[in-house]
A = this chain, B = another copy of it.
Amino acid sequence: MNIGIIGDGQLGSMTIFENRKLNFNFFVLGKNPTAPASRIADRFFGYDEYQEFFNIVDRVVVEFEHIPDIIFENLKNYPNFRALELKRSRIKEKLFLRERGYPLGNFDFSYGYQLEEKIKKFSLPVVVKAEKLGYDGKGQYLVKDILEITDILKNHSLEEGFVIEEFIDFKYEISTIGVRDKNSDKNIYPISFNYHEGGILLYNYAPFLQNKDVEEIVLSLLDDLEIEGLLAVEFFLTKDDEILINEFAPRPHNTGHYTMEASYTSQFENLIRAVVGLPIGSTQTKIPTGMVNILGKSLEDFDTKEILKVEGTQLYWYGKEKKPRRKMGHINIVDKDIGSLKEKIRFVLKNIYSKIPSKV
């Protein structure tokens, strides 16, 4: 079978190498022929070769949402079009969730020229997010002072749409990943604890806690969005133990890298199982696992060997050009005991960044 992957990054690359065991062909449609997924695909197609790509593939999965318009049009008859469409606009995503009664923090929509007026209705700080093309903290602003709006609008037009969100003083950021096939068979991975810095995931681990509300929300969203494949959903757990959805992503997710070591079936394998019609695999946990992202570092910037000497560590290195805060690789870490898993996470963070966030 020929599996097409839209997107050429590390999520695509892990989708390929984790599923080589099933002996399918993997074709990547992307921007860069030397990107992580492109390099190990059976064939790379540039965006201009999209027609050839769609002709050759039997199934299509998506590893990122920011797909060029012309290619997005071609996805109309493929699964998950609705979910992907919602992800092209933070406003549509929020509206969809609100209309169906999913729990969200207070928010409002605004054009650029209304931002000041609309933000004044919130107590500061607020989080302002551009409607389009935001990921890994891009196009997102924590506004502590109304005067900062002038700076924000330097990057955006006055006609651009924004979402204004009340600042959630959360206890934890958590997430889980659901998987669903077209027979509506579903499964959910355990809930992970996630720690972001500047809008980018720095580390996470699972299983963290159990929460019936989270499970019900994800199972319901999988059906509402008619997902065939994966759906990652990020939540805030507030200081009053309220569950609020932050956002969702209909694709493999950075918060699920840990599943490669932890789970009976990884997120990447379950994605492919779901779309080719194989039974969805168990999401049970073999062993507690953590993940530390390597952001903006090359292999020379930290001591790989010291990290790999730690019992139960795995290096995933994406082979990308170094840029500030870019996701260059990650470390997966397993331990039978959550306490000593956290110690290992601290050790790895300290090795890579020479500092440890307070929340480990």
Closest 6 A/B residue pairs (Cβ): A17-B20, A23-B319, A23-B317, A286-B286, A21-B316, A286-B287
Contact B308 A273 (CB under 8 A): yes
Residue of B nearest to A264 (CB): B312
This chain: copies in complex: 2
A sample of 5 more A-B contacts (CB under 8 A), given A21-B316, A22-B316, A264-B311, is: A14-B21, A21-B317, A278-B305, A286-B286, A286-B334
Main SS class of interface, A: mixed
The minimal Cβ–Cβ distance linking A59 to chain B, given in whole angstroms, is 17
Contact A309 B23 (CB under 8 A): no
Contact with B along A258-280 (1 / 0, CB 8 A): 00010011000100010000110
Within 8 Å by CB of A308, from B14, B279, B334, lies B279
Chain B residues with CB under 8 Å of A36's CB are: 23
The minimal Cβ–Cβ distance linking A290 to chain B, given in whole angstroms, is 14
* Complex alpha-carbon distance, A308 and B269, angstroms: 12
Contact A282 B22 (CB under 8 A): no
Chain B residues with CB under 8 Å of A308's CB are: 273, 278-279, 281
Contact with B along A111-135 (1 / 0, CB 8 A): 0000000000000000000000000
Contact A282 B311 (CB under 8 A): yes
Chain B residues with CB under 8 Å of A21's CB are: 14, 17, 314-317
A38, CB-defined interface residue at 8 Å:
no
A40, CB-defined interface residue at 8 Å:
yes
Contact B22 A315 (CB under 8 A): yes
* Complex alpha-carbon distance, A357 and B17, angstroms: 34
* Complex alpha-carbon distance, A78 and B334, angstroms: 34
Known: A284-B312, A286-B287. A317 touches B17 (CB 8 A): no
* Complex alpha-carbon distance, A261 and B260, angstroms: 10
Chain B residues with CB under 8 Å of A311's CB are: 264, 282, 284
Contact B17 A13 (CB under 8 A): no
The minimal Cβ–Cβ distance linking A56 to chain B, given in whole angstroms, is 16
* Complex alpha-carbon distance, A17 and B24, angstroms: 13
Contact with B along A1-41 (1 / 0, CB 8 A): 00000000000011011101111000000000000100010
The minimal Cβ–Cβ distance linking A258 to chain B, given in whole angstroms, is 13
* Complex alpha-carbon distance, A17 and B282, angstroms: 22
A184, CB-defined interface residue at 8 Å:
no
Chain B residues with CB under 8 Å of A305's CB are: 278-279
* Complex alpha-carbon distance, A319 and B282, angstroms: 25
A318, CB-defined interface residue at 8 Å:
yes
* Complex alpha-carbon distance, A314 and B40, angstroms: 22
